[in-house]
Amino acid sequence: LRPHRNEEEHYYAVRALNPADLAPAEQAARLIYLNKTCYNGLYRENSQGQFNVPFGRYKNPKICDEERLKSASRALKGVRLRTADFAKAVAEAGPGDFVYFDPPYAPLSATSSFTSYSRHGFNADDQRRLAATFRNLSERDCKIMLSNSSAPLIYELYDGFHIEEIQARRAINSKADGRGPVKELLILNY
């Protein structure tokens, strides 16, 4: 991470690299660098699966936080991370396991429907499939927590579970009046 610079031209050169052509450590360094220097630390892909967030224009971002990286390394010793569909990722969860879901949120209106953080998107059918997975895990005596928007669909899908309304701050919105506190839901089976 040290050779990376907080410069727009360098940022776009690193962003253009194909992660598949990099060694695992280089892939990790690329992702951390992009996260620390992109706009609002946002992760988003285009329809080809390429990271497409613009340069963040921060004065002096802390690109390499060595202590935090070492701490994360210690915490992740013996842990297996994988990329998978959410249902596949939790297929082996059993009694007493804790599962937290933080999906792309259900849109609150027809004009607030951005869920394309990845090329696959996340639509109402995915929300229904997630709710079915949540119910299945609950029947298997897992402890589950899920965060989502306060859209009517979410209340409907998780009827019968503990639904807690919370206030969360939003800094990313194309309209200024859409930034600030918003009502979100925490859904729990305990």
Looking at residue 115, the DSSP 8-state letter turns out to be: -
Instruction: Spell out the long-range contacts of 174-179 with Cβ–Cβ below 8 A and sequence spacing 24 or more.
Output: 178/112
Q: Are strands 143-149 and 98-101 parallel, antiparallel or unpaired?
A: parallel
Query: Model-level pTM?
Result: 0.73
Mean pLDDT by 10 residues, the chain (190 residues): 88 96 95 94 89 94 92 91 90 95 88 55 94 98 97 98 92 56 95
Residue 171 has a pLDDT of 63
Using one digit for the tens of pLDDT, what is the confidence trace for 113-149?
554 555 667 999 999 999 999 999 999 999 999 999 9
Q: Which domains does the chain have, with CATH numbers?
A: 8-75 (1.10.1020.10), 86-188 (3.40.50.150)
Residue 49 has a pLDDT of 87
